[in-house]
């Protein structure tokens, strides 16, 4: 086991726990005030009661998601110090906006939304809920911009600098140009509607489970509504995902090669050795499609037949799909930390020669940005049981997250009792 494998495994581990949490938080922030709107317009207290119950989950889980977000940051700083430094210098406005929106503004709003229920008018309470959702959505909007830059660093320029330790500087001259990245809009679209679809299907599955035991009318009404939302949001998520794959195919040869298992048709054979990915993830990709088809079938079946088996399937598989999709997107760019565009590679060859172009490409690889973990790699090779222990801990955390999601969503608030 080498340093890169260790770094990737640790980041994937933290991502696998962090992402389901933040997806459900983001989804609930939009869905809870929507439930209140539906409840007011239809004069159906079940929707309002369900929103009151599930708002407790936001307070419970937001902090846990923040902890694992911090773990990812620490891993990046410790395992990829040069990349973290470069990303911090290049994209500091992106990080600053995310921190201010997510911590300084969104977090107090979430607390106020939860505590002000029954103390403000329903209209004011709904407005606060949507404001919290808007500011919280800025966080994935900024972080997805970083992923887009990793895929295709539009707006990032390479300037030859003989005084630099690496022989060149990476510069962002126009931050507005970053938002023109063609991989960014579909990635953001898929993220937001993926969170909404995941949250809706989790709520419906948990409420189906509870309805099967209690026959409570609230679980019946809200579950049916959430299933319709899951289908609608899931369709938009699929559209965003297909669009994202198309754009990645056009602009990020290493990523699409890793996902599909073969190089894009436009890539010159002379560049194969430059853009060949470290990992071929086509098996993951096709497994993701298969799980999506299974989820669609079981979700449609649950409209007619409701039982604990279907509820469990509709709970477990979507969480697995989110983990697979996010980890796949996280590691598909390897061996690069930032994938150099084909057009930029050709321009560097024309302007500075092949040697300098290869120097830039090699510098942008993850192995350059990583810290020295060879000692740890050797230690793990001698004691492979450590890896199995890490897997056990990962499974344990995921079970705990699943249990937390379940009990958080069925929590009965005093106001709705």
What are the DSSP calls for 54-120, one per residue?
HHHHHHHHHHHHHHHHHHHHHHHHHH-HHHHHHHHHHHHHHHHHHHIIIIIIIHHHHHHHHHTTTTS
DSSP string, 289-324: HHHHHHHHHHHHHHHH---HHHHHHHHHHHHHHHHH
Q: What is the pTM of this model?
A: 0.85
Of 137-146, 189-198, 347-356, 397-406, the least confident: 397-406
Which pair of structure tokens corresponds to residue 110?
């979430």
259 φ, ψ to 5°? -75, -45
Question: Are 167 and 221 a contacting pair, CB within 8 Å?
Answer: no
DSSP annotation of 340 reads P
Give the separation between CA 9 and CA 16, rounded to whole angstroms.
Answer: 10
To the nearest whole percent, how much of the chain has pLDDT over 70? 79
Tokens (6 digits) for 73: 């940051």
Determine the 3-state secondary structure of 157 from DSSP.
strand
Residue 187 to residue 174: CA distance in whole angstroms: 21
What pLDDT is recorded for position 250? Answer: 93
* DSSP secondary structure string for all residues of 103-127: IIIIHHHHHHHHHTTTTS-HHHHHH
Which tens digit of pLDDT belongs to each residue from 37-55?
A: 999 999 999 998 888 888 8
Least confident of 51-65, 163-177, 226-240, 376-390: 376-390
- Res 233: pLDDT: 96
Look at residue 164 in the predicted model and tell me its pLDDT: 66
Is residue 417's pLDDT more than 50? no
Instruction: Please report, rounded to a whole number, the percentage of residues in the chain having pLDDT higher than 90.
Output: 35
Number of domains in the chain: 1
Alpha carbon 310 to its chain's center: 26
Q: Are 342 and 334 in contact (CB under 8 A)?
A: no
Mean pLDDT of the chain: 82
**Percentages of the chain per state (helix, strand, coil), in multiples of 5:** 80, 5, 15
Over range 310-336, report the average pLDDT. Answer: 89
Contact 333, 255 (CB under 8 A): yes
Domain residues for the domain of 236 are: 3-416
- How far the first Cα of the chain sits from its last, in Å, is 54
Q: How far apart are CA 7 and CA 4, in angstroms?
A: 5
């Amino acid at each position: 086991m080498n340093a890169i494998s260790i770094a990737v495994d640790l980041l994937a581990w933290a991502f696998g726990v962090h992402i389901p949490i933040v997806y459900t938080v983001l989804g609930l922030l939009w869905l809870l005030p929507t439930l209140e709107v539906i409840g007011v317009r239809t004069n159906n207290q079940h929707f309002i009661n369900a929103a009151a119950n599930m708002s407790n989950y936001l307070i419970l889980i937001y902090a846990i998601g923040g902890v694992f977000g911090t773990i990812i940051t620490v891993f990046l700083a410790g395992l990829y110090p040069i990349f973290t430094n470069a990303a911090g210098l290049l994209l500091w406005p992106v990080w600053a906006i995310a921190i201010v929106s997510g911590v300084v503004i969104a977090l107090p709003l979430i607390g106020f939304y939860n505590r002000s229920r029954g103390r403000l008018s329903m209209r004011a309470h709904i407005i606060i809920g949507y404001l919290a959702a808007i500011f919280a959505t800025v966080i994935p909007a900024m972080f997805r911009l970083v992923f887009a830059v990793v895929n295709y660093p539009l707006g990032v320029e390479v300037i030859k600098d003989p005084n630099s330790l690496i022989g060149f500087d990476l510069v962002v001259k126009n931050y507005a140009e970053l938002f023109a990245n063609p991989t960014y809009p579909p990635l953001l679209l898929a993220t937001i509607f993926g969170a909404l679809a995941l949250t809706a299907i989790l709520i419906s599955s948990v409420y189906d489970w509870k309805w099967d035991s209690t026959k409570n009318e609230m679980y019946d009404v809200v579950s049916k509504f959430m299933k319709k939302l899951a289908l609608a949001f899931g369709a938009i998520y699929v559209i965003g995902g297909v669009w994202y794959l198309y754009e990645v195919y056009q602009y990020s040869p290493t990523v699409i090669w890793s996902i599909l298992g073969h190089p894009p048709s436009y890539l010159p054979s002379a560049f194969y050795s430059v853009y060949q990915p470290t990992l071929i993830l086509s098996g993951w990709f096709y497994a993701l499609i298969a799980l999506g088809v299974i989820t669609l079938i079981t979700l449609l079946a649950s409209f007619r037949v409701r039982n604990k088996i279907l509820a469990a399937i509709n709970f477990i598989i979507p969480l697995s799909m989110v983990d697979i999709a996010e980890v796949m997107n996280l590691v598909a760019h390897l061996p690069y930390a930032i994938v150099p565009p084909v057009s930029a590679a050709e321009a560097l060859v024309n302007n500075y020669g092949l040697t300098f172009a290869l120097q830039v490409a090699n510098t942008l690889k993850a192995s350059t940005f990583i810290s020295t973990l060879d000692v740890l790699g050797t230690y793990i090779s001698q004691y492979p049981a450590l890896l199995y222990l890490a897997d056990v801990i990962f499974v344990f955390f995921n079970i705990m997250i699943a249990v937390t999601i379940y009990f958080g969503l069925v929590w009965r608030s005093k106001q709705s009792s």
